Every structure is written in C-alpha cells, then in structure tokens.
Amino acid sequence: MKSAPNLEDYATTYRSFSWNSVRRELDWFNHHINAAYNAIDRHTSTWRKNKVALYWHGEDDSRKKFTFEELSIASNKFGNILKDFGVSRGDRVFLFLPRVPDLFFAFLGTIKIGAIAGTLFSAFQEQALLDRLANSDAKVLVTNSELKKRVDKVRKKLPGLAHIITVDTDDYKKSFNHASAELSIAHMDPDDYAFMLYTSGTTGKPKGVVHTHRAILQEYMTARWVLDLKDEDVYWCTADPGWVTGIAYEILGSWACGVSAVIYEGRFDPKKWYEILESYKVTVWYTAPTAIRMLMVTDSNLLKKYDLSNLRHLCSVGEPLNPEAIKWSKKVIGLPFHDNWWQTETGAICIANYPSMKIKPGSMGKPIPGLTAAIVDDHGNEVGPNKEGNIALKPPWPSMMKTIWRRPLKYKSYFINGLYISGDRGMRDKDGYFWFIGRADDVIKTSGERVGPFEVESALVAHPAVVEAGVIGKPDPLRGEIIKAFVVLEKSQKPSEKLKNELSLYVKKHLAGHAYPREIEFIDKLPKTRSGKIMRRILKAKEMGLPIGDTSTLEEY
C-alpha cells in the first residue's frame, strides 16, 4: 500500500508553519547545535544505530557499506586526527577527494569539532586550487596521493596551509586505526560557520559562500517535504559534494532523516546508473536535468533490461527541467521528475514541486513552508501575476548564507529593499507556481521583446533531432539582439542548413514568432558546470571574442 507523502497538505502547512515549531525535530545542546551530530550521531541512540547509512559503490565496482554507528566512529576518529594537527574551532579544512568514504568521514569529522569544512571538485587543477585555498586561508587539506601532485605545484604559494593529510598512505591508515573512537562534539551556536563552497561568477575570482550549523534545519525539513524521504527508503543523490546539493542532500539533510544512501564514485554512464538503481533497489532518486536528458537519448532498449520498479519518487535540480524530460520519465519509468529551485547561496531547496501537488511541467513549483518568495522589479517592488521580474526571497531562512568569505560588500550586494535578489529572472502564475526565465544577465531582448533562453532551449529539445541546446542573445544593429542557439544533435543526425531551418521554424511554430533562433550552430557538447548548469556566459563570450572568466567549475572545459 502506497504511504501518504510527508507533506500531505501543502496549503495548510504553508499557512500555519513556523521554523520554531520544528526545532525539536533535531537534537540541541540547550541553545547550541552541531550539524554533523544531527546528521549521524543522534541516530546511534536509536534503532537506526545498526542501520546501513552508506552503500558505497566504487568506480571499479568494489562495494562497501557503513552503518550510522560506523560513520559516527569513523568521523570521530577523523575529528581526533584533526585535533592532533592543532585544528580548532573556525579553522578551515578543505577536502580534495573523489567520492570515496574518506571524504564523508572527513567532512563530518571536521564539522564535529567546530572547524569549517570546504569541498573541492577532484577535477580542479592548480589555479583553481590556489584561488580557493589562498582565499580561505585553509589550515589543512585532505586529499589522496594522486591529487596531491597538483597541490604540491602551488604549495609554496600557500603559507597558511600547515598540513596535507593524504588518506591513502600507510601512515594515515595507521593513524586512523589508532585514533580514539570517542570525540567530544563541539556545541556550536546555530550561526557559527559550518561549511563553505566557492562559486564561479562571470568575472573575477570565485566567491566563498559560507553556511552555518543552523542550515541543517532547512536541509532536513526539505529532505522530508520535497525528497519525501522515509525510514524504509534507499536514496540516491548523484551530486558531488563539491556542489552544495552533495552537501545538503547527500550528507546533512538526507542523513538527518535517517535514510540509507547510495554513493557512486564513478562518472555518468547510463548502463551503470541503471544497474545501481536496480541492484540497490533505489526508491528515491535525486539527479540533474543534464543527466536526465542524456538518458533520454540513450537506446530505449537499454532501460528495458533493468527492473526499476522500486522507484517511487524522482527529483531534479541544477538547471530548470525541460517539460520534455518530465514527459519522458512518466512514459518510460512511470513517474514524473519533480523539479526544484535553489542556489549555493540559499543553502537548501527554496521552491519546489511536492509529491502531493500537481506538477505543471516546466515550473519550479511553490515556495517551501516557512519561506516567502516573490517576483520583484529591479527596485525590490513586487510585480503582479504572469509578469517577469527578479526571483526574490524574504530573509531570514535557516539555510541562508551567512557571508561571502572576506567580501562583505559582495554579500551586501545580494540584498535590495530588504529582500535577497537571486539573480534569476522568473514569473509567478495566478495559481502561485513560479516559472524560471533565465539568469538576469542571460535574458535576451530582441525587437523590444524579452525572451528567456530556457524556454527556447526547451522548445529545441522537444524536437526529436536535438539532445541539448544552449541559447544566447547576440548583438544585432536592427533588433538589439537576435537569438542564437548552440545545438547538440542526436548521434544519428547529420548537421545541415536544412536542419537549421527546420529547427528555427519548429521553435517559431511551438513557442512564438519572435522567440526563434535566427542563428544555429551545431556543436559536440555544451559547456556546463559539474552540477549540470549550461554556462551560457561561456557561449556568449566565445561568440563575442570576450574573456570567458573563471572556468574552474566547468565539466571538462
């Protein structure tokens, strides 16, 4: 029998909800808290003590599993190792590792002792590492022998980096085995810093977004409301912890729900992904639109070889989800993907489609209980239904960033008229659903009309010849801007002028007479972040012959 969703009545909950009413959902030390303790250790005094928390699947198909008690002990040991290295509250400990168990031990252990955990993608090269480690003044870096070679090349430029812990050496393994399993958990003020991530902007160096221990309250509640996590679930979030989704919904919020999680070390591969979904009997799956679109163009017979009948709930984040992807998942899996919206700066899901609510394909959904969202003009004044504006949130909310590391003026720039301005453009319909239009600097103005690149991309992806599309505005003396599309074709399709004309007419017919691409360029792949976001600014910079800015978060750029 299908159980009711955790958030059964959205409207009633939204009207009556307050964050104070759910404080007791987590464990507090009087008025203090520790996010890592709430993710793992609080379960060790319950029946979940011997429940599997982590099913780890290596790139070489090796497998390991860890109970909540084993994760508690392993992270305690790591916390004690850090203490031996002189790490104390507020020190920055950065993790430069692939998705191996040590990454999770280290992240949790760092937060347990009151230090600040920072995560780095294992694909980062020397300059990206230098930028982040220097700006954060990291005291300790945790890595492996292979990745350490990159750090060694810039080590002399990092005077604050006191120690490098290399987790695959015999010395470390001996230290880990001998470390005490008992750890005094730091009782932290809710607004004390817990973790930080660096995000790339259009220009300049990456900025360090810092979150507090309080963030786990919203991460936990949204894991319940949006991901609908329950005790009996086996849950797979495909994100890397170098991205905020990997922290909020692969470590903190999801484990705070006491769920059994699958972690796969390897890269995207349709066959391997379907194998994991089947072999671990995954019930809740959280992934990125890019991955979904790549699965859509995989041989349809491949999916038929696997039993995915255990799946009960699908969610998506990273880039707005095209309606075509929702139709596909309903057709081939029997379930729709539920899209949601949030940012590194917001720290947790803010607007979402919920299991109990009707999906409007292409919509971000509605704000979570306890959070007020609005569409406002450039002065922070709210605009009416179906009118384009800035997606804004009313502070505070539990997972809101606390600062931009060492850049207070940058932090202040996010706020206008008492509102957090996200930098994303959107609109809200008469039913209260929010719709994404594009990043503020991505929206195209052509012949006096404003066009969101996402809707043009969605129209192109709906054409059977198209796998993915990235759309930009290109300066034009007559129209101000024209729409240019960069299109990735199905493997069986051959680029041609005829196909370009066909695609332009297709968008014109299915979207709007003014919103079709006047130029189309076929490319092998789009520049994307590792979280799956199409980096339109890269496309535009290359088209215009401009500097492309920081590219350290791009996937194989």
Residue type, 57: H
**According to DSSP H, which parts of 210-336 are helical?**
215-225, 244-247, 253-256, 270-279, 289-296, 300-303, 323-332
Q: Please check the confidence at residue 203 and state whether its pLDDT lies above 50.
A: no
Q: Please check the confidence at residue 465 and state whether its pLDDT lies above 90.
A: yes
| Contact residues for 111 (Cβ-Cβ < 8 A; gap 6+) | 34, 35, 36, 117, 194, 195, 213
Q: Please check the confidence at residue 187 and state whether its pLDDT lies above 80.
A: yes
Q: Please check the confidence at residue 431 and state whether its pLDDT lies above 80.
A: yes
Distance CA 218, CA 61 (A): 34
Place of tokens 């801007």: 481
522's enclosing H/E stretch is strand 519-522
The Cα-based distances of 281 to 236, 273, 274, 276, 455 in angstroms read 10, 12, 10, 8, 35
Topology annotation, domain 441-544: GMP Synthetase; Chain A, domain 3 (3.30.300)
What is the mean predicted confidence (pLDDT) over 177-201?
94
Q: What is the pTM of this model?
A: 0.86
Q: Using an 8 Å Cβ cutoff, are 349 and 367 in contact?
A: no
pLDDT confidence of 1, banded at 50, 70, 90? low
275-289, 378-392, 484-498, 536-550: the lowest-pLDDT one: 536-550
Give residue-wise pLDDT tens across range 100-123: 999 999 999 999 999 999 999 888
Find the Cα–Cα–Cα–Cα dihedral 407, 409, 410, 412, rounded to 10°. Answer: 130
Structure tokens at 322: 């095209």
Distance CA 88, CA 377 (A): 44
540's enclosing H/E stretch is helix 536-544
Topology annotation, domain 10-428: Rossmann fold (3.40.50)
Place of tokens 């890595």: 143
Q: Please check the confidence at residue 445 and state whether its pLDDT lies above 80.
A: no
Q: Please check the confidence at residue 200 and state whether its pLDDT lies above 70.
A: no
For 359-398, b/e burial (b = at least 16 CB within 10 A) is: bbbbbbbbbbbbbebbbbeeebeeeeeeebbbbbbeeebb
**Sheet strands (E) in 324-463:** 337-341, 351-352, 363-367, 373-376, 389-393, 403-404, 415-416, 419-428, 434-439, 444-446, 449-451
% of the chain surpassing 70 pLDDT:
96
Give residue-wise pLDDT tens across range 256-267: 999 999 999 999
**According to DSSP H, which parts of 85-169 are helical?**
101-112, 126-136, 145-152
Find the Cα–Cα–Cα–Cα dihedral 12, 415, 535, 505, rounded to 10°. Answer: 70
What is the mean predicted confidence (pLDDT) over 281-308?
90
Give residue-wise pLDDT tens across range 329-363: 999 999 999 999 999 999 999 999 999 999 999 99
Structure tokens at 459: 């129209």
Helix axes 323-332, 289-296, angle to 10 degrees: 60
22-31, 117-126, 129-138: the lowest-pLDDT one: 117-126
Distance CA 536, CA 357 (A): 32
Q: Using an 8 Å Cβ cutoff, are 229 and 284 in contact?
A: yes
pLDDT of residue 241: 94
pLDDT of residue 551: 65
Domain ranges of the chain: 10-428, 441-544
3-state secondary structure of 392: strand
Q: Which of 415, 412, 426, 444 is nearest to 512 (CA)?
A: 444
Distance CA 332, CA 453 (A): 27
Of residues 86 and 445, more confidently modeled: 86
pLDDT confidence of 202, banded at 50, 70, 90? very low
